[in-house]
Structure 1
Amino acid sequence: MQRSHSNDKAKGHIFMHKIKQFIWALILAGLFSTTNALPVGLNTGSFSINSSVASLMDWYAQLLSKDSQSKFLDYYPKEIQQIKIIKIKLIDSKQENRHKFNVELLLTYKNANKLISKTVSEVLVFLLSPLGKPELNKIIKDKGEFATAASGKNFNQLYYQKRQFVYAWLAWLDGDKYRLPTIENKATYVVNIAGKQIQGSVFSSLKKRSQYLYKGKNLLHSMDVKALKNNKFIFNLVIQYKGVNAKNQKVIAKIKQTIHVKLKNNIWQIIRIQEKHLLPDIAPWIGFVC
């Protein structure tokens, strides 16, 4: 009786393995897709929404830097200690060369040696160009209200620098050549997809990977960052890709990336990337900023 139970269990594992192989075959053939994989409003034409979000994160990192210089600094209090994004929404813009974000913030700053916290609602407008990165063009601010200071995470400059790196990386994967990351000469990129493994340099692996994921958009679902010694970090990302393969067939993919980097002179340098493709989710993901 025990042997029969073991055989049934083994058969069950084999059956599930075959089902997974069948689903992967559909995915790679471009037959498994969904029409609502990205949130409404992320169809932004040829411009990568990730590139604009990277510029947004870079702006908040600048506000937390003592050396920042911008014509928009007067819109904010002096000596900002923390910035916590409470809510962010992409606003539909009638102008194709604009990305507009409605952002609700909790600002903590010093005034007369006292810490003050205030909620602020603002609209950031980024000018888009095929010749460069999105540029902050306009800030529209509402009146702020005093609030309780942020607790828990340290929403400092490094917090936004990490997110700027991630969204710039995704923008580069989207096809934004102006977001080319800094990659160490000996950096490796390992991709595990449908029982196959691609291994080589970052550029060679991406070239081989493109037969499955040729052109499309990447949506960040989650990120976790682990700090190591000597300014080294491990970024664990879960990403959804929606686009086409090399045969121009529709494809979606759920991707887990582990990116090893080091921060040197405020520049993120990629050391190693490990990528694993998971079975994609049917339901659409809500939101686009982590």
Structure 2
Amino acid sequence: MKGVVYALYERGLKVVFAQCLGAIVLTTLVSQVLSLHWYLERKSVRWQRIIVIGLHTLQLGVLWRYARLLVPVQLSSVKREVRDLCILRLVHGFLQAAPMLLLQLSLLPGEVEGPPTDLLTVSAAISLFSVCWALASFSKHVQRVDKLVLTWLGVVSQLLWRAGTVTSRALALSAYAASYHSWIFLVLALHWACMFLWLLSPRSPFHGQRGSKLGVCALMAAIYILAYINLQEKPHGRTMVIFYIVMLLENCLLVGAWLAAVWAVKPVNWELVPILTVSLFAAGIFFYASVL
């Protein structure tokens, strides 16, 4: 990712460079602040609190969490650390990797002054894997802590489910952004607003929430731009069906808008965009069904 950021700076693409750099800085700050907050809630000894604050000030807090897993401790402590790291990974995936993925895919059609296509392809693949792995890890270690634990075969199926649906969604959004540029922010804002209101609707488990719970709803609505996660104990099969039907329709609409914009001068292999958008989405849903 950092190679792409440097290539954007070197080629003078200041707006995209600022967006990528802003995503990296924001992700680092949010991750360290969250990690520090959780540590301070549990650390009561003064010298321990000072060390923890120092590590997070040096931006080493998350690395310190991984290092702690190598030290023999109680199993309950390990589970709590893994749970926290999975949540931090999810934050990283949707604050940094997801925006980078969309930006990189929107540049792939190839402006002459843009970064090399090979660099963009590799970096986009890494960003995609980061998002999908964060979602799969979240499902394994956070959503099902006291329930049936997913096997690694189940985790692979979860990873492929997320890879299919997230890639399809990212392709649709990136294709639209490549032709309509800043209008993509209106699309994202409208989708976020719809998801936020949906979470607060009378039939939603979040109905009537106030204060910090509204912040959780806002974060979940942002995640719902790319993928679906469930934080409730209740079955959510019907909700997922509705969500993915809406997402498929949105993806088709976005790709249709892109086709209308490029139809006069169609790019090379233009037909791959609609084909991949639909086929990857179908493959993702197939692997989700295999998890059940």
Q: Which has the higher helix share?
A: 2
The structure that has the greater radius of gyration is: 1
Q: Tell me the TM-score normalized by structure 2.
A: 0.23
Q: Which has the higher strand share?
A: 1
